[in-house]
Amino acid sequence: MSRRTDRINEQLREEISTLLTRQVKDPRLNAVISITRVVSSGDLRSARVYISVMGNQETREAALAGMQSAASYLRRELRDRINMKHTPFLSYQLDDSLEEADQVLRLMNRVKPEDEMIEEQATQSPKIPGGG
């Protein structure tokens, strides 16, 4: 990906975040929503917008539906805010990477590394007086 595309993705992410907090008044979007990343196509005519939503699955799906229903409004607003020949068509997708990372960390915490187990055994074994 080029630097220009990275810059455009970041600008889109910031502008969509701003629009969400200041101008979109959909009750489904009252949850804590963050735009985690934007991935534009090579020709910059379309972009996938990844959103992270705090809450249960129902809240997450409602927020996604709210984003999808606000898509044409957001695209119109972006047209005036970004300097591009074509405003990309935006599709929205739930970003599960934070939840997946959390799940992996929980699993890792449940599995004790062999080194830790050896250390625990060493600290729990009785010490021989004067032997070491």
Q: For residue 115, give the 3-state DSSP assignment.
A: helix
pLDDT value at residue 57: 87
pLDDT tens for residues 104-125?
888 888 886 666 666 777 677 5
Residue type, 123: T
Q: How confident is the model at residue 14 (pLDDT cuts 50, 70, 90)?
A: very high
Kindly list the distances between the CA atom of residue 93 and the CA atoms of 39, 62, 68, 99, 103, in Å, as whole numbers in the listed order: 11, 12, 9, 14, 20
18-74 tens-digit pLDDT: 998 888 888 888 878 889 999 999 899 999 999 998 888 898 899 999 999 999 999
- In order of 43, 72, 119, 121, 125, the CA distances from 130 in angstroms are 76, 79, 21, 20, 15
| pLDDT of 131 above 60 | no
- pLDDT for the residue numbered 93: 94
For the chain, domain boundaries: 3-112
Helices (H), the chain: 3-22, 57-69, 71-81, 97-110, 114-124
Residue 33 near residue 51, CB atoms below 8 Å: yes
pLDDT at 114: 64
At residue 54, the pLDDT reads: 85
Q: What is the DSSP letter of 24?
A: -
- The reported pTM is 0.72
More confident site: 24 or 88: 88
**CATH classification number, 3-112, choose in 3.40.50.300, 1.25.40.20, 3.60.15.10, 3.30.300.20:** 3.30.300.20
Cβ of 75: how many Cβ atoms within 10 Å? 14
| Per-residue pLDDT, 125 | 59
